[in-house]
């Protein structure tokens, strides 16, 4: 078994929204991604609709159904977004924190905050009731207390926020303690039969130590793939990632 590659195509929509045009097409992007061997499509429907729109969720869902691959919908806990999720019934939902002022997701859900914990748990229950077959992951830091709180909710998976690790890697700083934290988090989660995913800031270079650690069953990668596609083409970038993944069986 090899790690799975989820490709986040939000920033194809970012380019489209920048000019208010009909192009580039997220449907075309989804087709290219899945034709090139990616294991799933990931999109984030934000409350402010800065990139992915409600209709995109519907059309991309049709593409993933055509290929028989999962759609992973990242989302916050706003009721309007919950309604869209229930209406489109993605295969996976990843619950993430959402701050309207942030450029991108800045960290994991702070389940140590009682209000956040209650809101996440309530959203989790609504989604499971509305889409009985859906699998739900929580986007979290590799913090021992947060991981323990997550186990109380019992999601299908936890996606570990790798942003701090990737910045240390990029700057040439020591990142070994983050790998250790990932190991501890994964051990705890697997003890509760919770799958372990990873995402944020991942590139073809900084993913190597993560692949070598054999910790994560799935990686969700977006921004770097879309950026590198300017030079190599999206299909080529995805194929390169899949070749890397195939060198590191779990």
Annotated active-site residue in 11, 178, 197, 200: 200
CA dihedral 64, 37, 135, 28 (to 10 degrees): -30
Distance CA(222)–CA(8), nearest Å, equals: 4
Backbone angles phi, psi at 5, to 5 degrees: -110, 115
11, 44, 51, 161: which one is catalytic?
A: 44
Distance (Å, whole) CA 162 – CA 160: 6
Known active-site residue 11: no
Catalytic residue among 11, 51, 74, 161: 74
Residue 218, SS3?
strand
User: CB-based contacts of 52: which residues, under 8 Å, 6+ apart?
Assistant: 10, 13, 26, 43, 44, 45, 46
The DSSP letter of residue 16 is H
> Quick check: is 74 catalytic?
yes
Q: What is the DSSP code (8-state) at residue 247?
A: T
**Euclidean distance between CA atoms 140 and 160, whole angstroms:** 5
Phi-psi region of 148 (alpha: psi -120 to 50; beta: other; left: phi over 0): alpha
CA angle (135 as vertex; 131, 141 as ends), nearest 5:
130
Residue (of 59, 63, 62, 46) closest to 11 by Cα position: 46
Write the CB contacts of 18 (distance below 8 Å, at least 6 apart in sequence).
Answer: none
Q: Which residues are catalytic?
A: 44, 74, 200
């Amino acid at each position: 078994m090899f790690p799975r590659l989820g490709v986040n195509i939000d920033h194809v929509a970012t380019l489209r929204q920048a000019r208010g045009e009909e192009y580039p097409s997220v449907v075309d992007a989804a087709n290219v991604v899945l034709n090139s061997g990616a294991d799933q499509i990931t999109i984030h429907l934000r409350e402010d609709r800065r990139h992915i729109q409600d209709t995109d969720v519907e059309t991309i869902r049709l593409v993933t159904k055509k290929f028989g691959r999962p759609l992973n919908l990242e989302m916050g806990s706003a009721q309007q977004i919950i309604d869209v999720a229930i209406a489109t019934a993605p295969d996976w939902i990843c619950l993430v924190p959402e701050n309207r002022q942030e450029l991108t997701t800045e960290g994991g859900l702070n389940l140590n905050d009682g209000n956040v914990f209650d809101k996440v748990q309530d959203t989790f229950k609504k989604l499971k009731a509305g889409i009985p077959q859906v699998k739900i992951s929580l986007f979290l830091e590799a913090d021992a207390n947060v991981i323990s709180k997550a186990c109380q909710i019992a999601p299908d998976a936890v996606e570990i926020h790798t942003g701090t690790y990737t910045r240390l890697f990029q700057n040439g700083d020591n990142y070994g303690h983050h790998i250790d934290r990932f190991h501890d988090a994964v051990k705890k989660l697997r003890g509760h039969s919770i799958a372990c995913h990873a995402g944020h800031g991942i590139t073809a270079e900084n993913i190597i130590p993560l692949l070598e650690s054999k910790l994560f069953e799935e990686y969700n990668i977006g921004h770097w793939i879309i950026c590198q596609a300017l030079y190599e083409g999206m299909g080529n970038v995805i194929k390169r990632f899949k070749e890397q993944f195939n060198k590191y069986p779990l």
